[in-house]
Amino acid sequence: MMSTKRLENFEVLCAWDSCSFEGHSMEELSEHMSQHLKDYLGDKDALEELDEFACLWDGCEFLSMGSPAELEVHAYFHNYHSKLKFVGSQLLKSRPDLPSCNLGTHSNNLLPEGSDEFVCQWEHCDSTFNNPEWFYRHVDNHVESAEQQSLSQQQALLCSWTGCDAFFKIRYRLREHMRSHTQERLVACPTCGCMFSSNTKLFDHLLRQAEPIESLVCEHCGKAFSSERLLRDHVRQH
Distance CA 182, CA 88 (A): 20
Length of the chain: 238
Digit-coded pLDDT (tens) for 162-216: 999 999 999 999 999 999 999 999 999 999 999 999 999 999 899 888 766 665 7
Domain boundary assignment for the chain: 5-207, 211-238
Q: Is 116 left (phi over 0), alpha (psi -120 to 50) or beta?
A: beta
Kindly tell me if the per-residue pLDDT of 72 is higher than 60: yes
The pLDDT score that the predictor gives to residue 207 is 86
Tell which CATH classification among 3.40.50.2300, 3.30.160.60, 1.10.260.40, 3.40.190.10 matches the domain 5-207: 3.30.160.60
pLDDT higher at 141 or 5: 141
Kindly tell me if the per-residue pLDDT of 141 is higher than 90: yes
Helix/strand/coil percent split, the chain, to 5: 40, 15, 45
Q: How far lies 105's CA from each of 17, 79, 189, 194, in Å?
A: 18, 17, 10, 10
Give the Cβ contact number of residue 72 at 10 Å. 22
How far out from the chain centre does Cα 163 lie?
Answer: 23
Kindly tell me if the per-residue pLDDT of 109 is higher than 60: yes
10 Å CB burial of residue 19 (0-12, 13-18, 19+) is: middle
Kindly tell me if the per-residue pLDDT of 129 is higher than 90: yes
Contacts of 228 (CB under 8 A, 6+ apart): 216
Digit-coded pLDDT (tens) for 13-55: 999 999 999 999 999 999 999 999 999 987 555 555 566 889 9
The pLDDT score that the predictor gives to residue 210 is 72
